[in-house]
Amino acid sequence: MSTLIQGIETLNPNYNAEDQRVGRTLTSLMFTEEMTPEGYINRRRITHGELAKAIQLPGRPVGVNRTYIAQLCIGAKHMSNDMLFAIARVLGVSPIAIKVPDGYDHSQAGLFVGASAA
């Protein structure tokens, strides 16, 4: 665990542990790839502000506040399902990649297409 995250957990023991885990996962996924004029792929971190502006929620044509995204990343706020799907859409990942615990065996939960529930 990074010292930044350890410091956040130490300073904010009232944050929900699951929300903190989801925030760490979200932070690790906040990257984008851009093509340079020379034809190289440049991978860079998406800022909280860029993500906030790109989020499209029903009834909110402008996006969300940058500080709300920052609070999600440190685990200070719980991520709603609407927000989860909007963020996943912007980042180009599955909502499951953000929300499901690391090391979780998806094949046992019937989450794959074509898997049958026992």
- Tens digits of residue pLDDT in 65-83: 999 999 999 999 999 999 9
Structure tokens at 6: 């350890």
**Structural domain spans, the chain:** 3-108
Q: Which helix (H) or strand (E) holds 41?
A: strand 41-45
pLDDT digits (tens, 9 = 90+) for 84-98: 999 999 998 899 999
The answer to whether the Cα torsion of 16, 18, 22, 28 is positive or negative is positive
pTM of the model: 0.69
Q: How many CA atoms lie within 13 A of 62 on its CB side?
A: 4
pLDDT digits (tens, 9 = 90+) for 2-17: 444 444 445 467 788 8
Q: Which amino acid is at 96?
A: I
CATH architecture of residue range(s) 3-108: Orthogonal Bundle (1.10)
pLDDT digits (tens, 9 = 90+) for 23-76: 999 998 998 778 888 989 888 899 999 999 999 888 777 789 999 999 999 999
CA distance 100 to 49: 25
CA distance 28 to 5: 12
CA distance 75 to 67: 12
Work out the end-to-end distance of the chain between its first and last CA atoms, rounded to an integer number of angstroms: 36
